[in-house]
Amino acid sequence: AVAPHRSPLIQAAAAMLGEYLTALLVAVLGYIYPVYLCFKALEHHKRKPEALRGWCIYWLVVALYTVGVQLSDRFIFWMPMYCEAKVGFVVYLWHPRTQGALYIYETFVSPFLAKYEPDIDRHIDETRTQVGDVALRHSQTAVNFVREKFAAMLSALPQAVPQQQGAAQSGYVPRNATEAAAMAYTSPRPRSD
């Protein structure tokens, strides 16, 4: 028997449904349900930090999984059963029988991070210092730019205002452009009847 030919539109719709269903299942099984289990562990095991260690490990591995999926989705999305494998993997990570996150952490993540921890810390400190230097330099440049523009704007204001009626009465002569501008807008205007 020959399989019926599916139209490209039906095939595209099935592929999209597969991607949407996978995203939904990964969200529910990989994030929402574990968040609830983590909440229960936090609330019911407040005096047992070892009960929370498993969830810390889970979230660390899920963070690495999320980064890995961002890359793999671009290159191996076409592989058969790829979407199903993603759903299966997130269940494998938290399921009590498999404890996949614990296995991955103890087998791969912890040894790798322990080996390179000094190098990673050094790179983080160097990057933090470089980012701080760049931010400081750019903030100083921005402050200087604002000062120059503000000074230019003030120097563009009239430097001396002729004696006005209010100034003549008070005997006050403005000392700078800011005071002159303030006097120009605050002194009473003569009526033009």
- Report d(CA 169, CA 131) in Å as an integer: 58
Q: Which residue has the tokens 């980064």?
A: 67
- What would the pLDDT profile of 78-101 be if each residue is shown by its tens digit? 888 888 889 999 999 989 899 999
DSSP SS3 for 54: helix
- Residue pLDDT, tens place only, 118-135: 998 999 899 888 988 888
Cα angle: 91, vertex 95, 99; to 5 degrees: 110
pLDDT category, 2, cuts 50, 70, 90?
very low
**pTM of structure:** 0.57
Helix boundaries (H) for 78-109: 82-94, 100-104
